[in-house]
Amino acid sequence: MIFTKQNILEFEKPYRTNFINSLSGFKSANLIGTISSEGKTNLTIFNSVIHVGANPALMGFLMRPVSVERHTYTNIKETNYFTINHISKEIFKQAHQTSARYEKDISEFDACKLTPQFNEAIKAPYVKESKIKIGLKFLEEQEIKSNGTIFIVGEIVEIVLPDDVVDNDGYVDIEKATTIVISGLDSYHETKRIARLSYAKPGVEPKEI
Amino acid sequence: MIFTKQNILEFEKPYRTNFINSLSGFKSANLIGTISSEGKTNLTIFNSVIHVGANPALMGFLMRPVSVERHTYTNIKETNYFTINHISKEIFKQAHQTSARYEKDISEFDACKLTPQFNEAIKAPYVKESKIKIGLKFLEEQEIKSNGTIFIVGEIVEIVLPDDVVDNDGYVDIEKATTIVISGLDSYHETKRIARLSYAKPGVEPKEI
């Protein structure tokens, strides 16, 4: 089955949104926590968080255009901090609910029954119920000119995770931490490891490690 | 267990690479196909492909700094086209092997036993064995100043996928297409759907759809 650019343009908007959002493959499932300069917390689900670099340790995510007010964006610009919290299987419904359009004076923590948790190093709330939490300091933003989305980059300042998920080689077993994964806009999936593979070299078959 | 920025700096390099690469959550698993102006095909695994926008239909991915030669980058700049091909369970070892450092005169298609497939609309090879294939035209690049990585954005020109994976509302069932997911640098996982959830509205519990 082949779809052309013309087909995409002729789709009804909701159909196109579902369709195109499915094409990038599976997506990371994270909650981003921030706080305003007046101390109001905010929490929003993002499926665009990616690894940016290991040294310095950087993560980034893509945010929709700020032509309408984005509380996450405003808070990051005010405080310079945000947290990234893995969505585990146990909290996927609460996490999804954070995508509802709450007014600025309502905290998604309260509305979605999740608990803000503060550590000294980070001026932003973690999600207590999340098993893997990362505190970041804002570094830079790059606007994608084609559609006004903004790629936000932060430096990792702190990581909070369970004792038993870090393997001897540094790999963090996020499946063991019941981190889930998203496809499209609204489909949530758990995972089952097939294998880890050895570092690839020309002419050598990859081995399961 | 808490790690600070200082802890991260003190990690040995391979440990830090594994650790930090695990933190963004699960990652999309895609092969990006390109061709040089001399007609030499190239294929590389990427775990940073994300959705950028539905209208216009845009996808993007983060590429390492071009301080050393990146064949994917050079080819995209020469031809303006690239393909994104989902990695399904059946080809995950061949896909992993494309990360080996092959010389420019060797095509990863040949070295990793995958088949280039050309359609008229796209000046880049698809992976025949991949079930979901997207052809894109290069639109823009944004450099992440913090570490020199480059975010590449393309517009979707064509999509090739099986007849039976597109649901009535446009959602593409990539799990049914056996698309897999990556964690860290080298761990491959299959998925099992927990649920799709209804569009979130304030004060309304999300329903499984």
User: Residue B68: which pLDDT band, with cuts at 50, 70 and 90?
Assistant: confident
User: Among B32, B29, B27, B26, which Cα is nearest to B154's?
Assistant: B32
The reported pLDDT for the residue numbered A67 is 82
Do residues A183 and B174 lie in contact, with contact meaning Cβ atoms separated by under 8 Å? yes
User: Residue B49: which pLDDT band, with cuts at 50, 70 and 90?
Assistant: very high
Q: Do A20 and B156 touch (CB under 8 A)?
A: yes
Q: Is the pLDDT of residue A66 over 90?
A: no
Q: Is the pLDDT of residue A107 over 90?
A: yes
- Average pLDDT, stretch A162-179? 97
**What are the chain B neighbours of A205 within 8 Å (beta carbons)?**
93, 97
- Average pLDDT, stretch B143-168? 98
| Structure token digits, residue A196 | 């880890």
Q: How far apart are CA A159 and CA B9, in angstroms?
A: 13
Per residue in B98-127, pLDDT (tens digit) is 999 998 889 999 999 999 999 999 999 999
The reported pLDDT for the residue numbered B66 is 85
| Structure token digits, residue A102 | 């709450």
**What are the chain A neighbours of B158 within 8 Å (beta carbons)?**
2-5
Tell me how close the Cα of A169 comes to any Cα of chain B, in angstroms: 5
Q: Do B57 and A206 touch (CB under 8 A)?
A: no
Tell me how close the Cα of B127 comes to any Cα of chain A, in angstroms: 15
Mutation for testing the B interface, residue in A64, A108, A186, A199 having most B CBs under 10 Å? A186
**Torsion of Cα atoms, A153 then A98 then B201 then A36, to 10°:** -70
What's the whole-model pTM score?
0.97
Q: Is the pLDDT of residue B67 over 90?
A: no
| Structure token digits, residue B178 | 């056996």
Tell me how close the Cα of A141 comes to any Cα of chain B, in angstroms: 8
Q: Is the pLDDT of residue A208 over 90?
A: yes
Q: Tally A–B CB contacts below 8 A.
A: 374
At position B123, the amino acid (one-letter code) is: K
CB-nearest partner of B100 from A25, A175, A200 = A200
Mutation for testing the A interface, residue in B127, B171, B205, B208 having most A CBs under 10 Å? B171
Do residues B24 and A51 lie in contact, with contact meaning Cβ atoms separated by under 8 Å? yes
- Average pLDDT, stretch A172-195? 98
The reported pLDDT for the residue numbered B25 is 98
**What are the chain A neighbours of B161 within 8 Å (beta carbons)?**
1, 3
Per residue in A124-170, pLDDT (tens digit) is 999 999 999 999 999 999 999 999 999 999 999 999 999 999 999 99
Answer whether the bond into residue A206 is a cis peptide, omega within 30°: no
Q: Tokens 């695990």 belong to which residue?
A: B22
Do residues B191 and B180 lie in contact, with contact meaning Cβ atoms separated by under 8 Å? yes
A189 against A66, higher pLDDT: A189
User: Residue A68: which pLDDT band, with cuts at 50, 70 and 90?
Assistant: confident
Tell me how close the Cα of A191 comes to any Cα of chain B, in angstroms: 4
Query: For all residues of chain B together, what is the average pLDDT?
Result: 97
The reported pLDDT for the residue numbered B13 is 97
Do residues A90 and A113 lie in contact, with contact meaning Cβ atoms separated by under 8 Å? no
Q: Is the pLDDT of residue B38 over 90?
A: yes
Q: Is the pLDDT of residue B69 over 90?
A: no
